[in-house]
Structure 1
Amino acid sequence: MPRYEYRCRSCGDTFELSRPMSQSAAPAACPAGHEDTVKLLSTVAVGGTAGTSAPAPRAAGGGCCGGGCCG
């Protein structure tokens, strides 16, 4: 189940809720009971391993079918 992050405009607290995607836009009360909250945009970090190399170059000729049919 996705987790959504919210911020309370009344007290400034941020909090997370797990809820179905179908309820992602539904209002959420802060843990202190305030109703004036806003859903925050989440960021996704994608990491890789250090030292990964680029893919090997393709064979000479390129183009469709190895370059033989693009005359």
Structure 2
Amino acid sequence: MPRYEYRCRSCGDTFELSRPMSESAAPAECPAGHADTVKLLSTVAVGGSSPAPASSGGGCCGGGCCG
């Protein structure tokens, strides 16, 4: 389930909520009980166990064509 970050306009607290994508725009109450919150834009971190793609050795600087 995605996590969304919110900031409370009343107290300035920043908090996260796990909720379905269909509820991402729904109002969120801060942990202190305030209702005046705004959803923050945040970077997406995608985790996985796949290794990085192997380099094919092509290109000028990677392929050795530069003299």
Same fold (TM over 0.5): yes
- The runs of 4+ residues in structure 1 deviating greater than 4 Å are none
What's the TM-score, normalizing by structure 2? 0.68
User: Match of 2:22, SS?
Assistant: helix
| Structure 1 segments unaligned to the other structure (5+ residues) | 47-52, 59-71
Where does residue 17 of structure 1 map in the other structure? Answer: 17
Alpha-carbon distance in structure 2 between the residues aligned to 1:54 and 1:6: 40
* CA-CA distance at 1:54 after TM superposition: 5.1
> Between Structure 1 and Structure 2, whose CA radius of gyration is higher?
1
User: Match of 1:26, SS?
Assistant: coil
Where does residue 37 of structure 1 map in the other structure? Answer: 37
What's the TM-score, normalizing by structure 1? 0.64
* CA-CA distance at 1:55 after TM superposition: 3.5
How many residues end up aligned between the 2 structures? 54
Alpha-carbon distance in structure 2 between the residues aligned to 1:39 and 1:45: 17
CA offsets 1:10-62 (integer angstroms, 9 cap, x no match): 0000000000000000000101110000000011357xxxxxx853228xxxx
Q: RMSD of the alignment, in Å?
A: 2.4
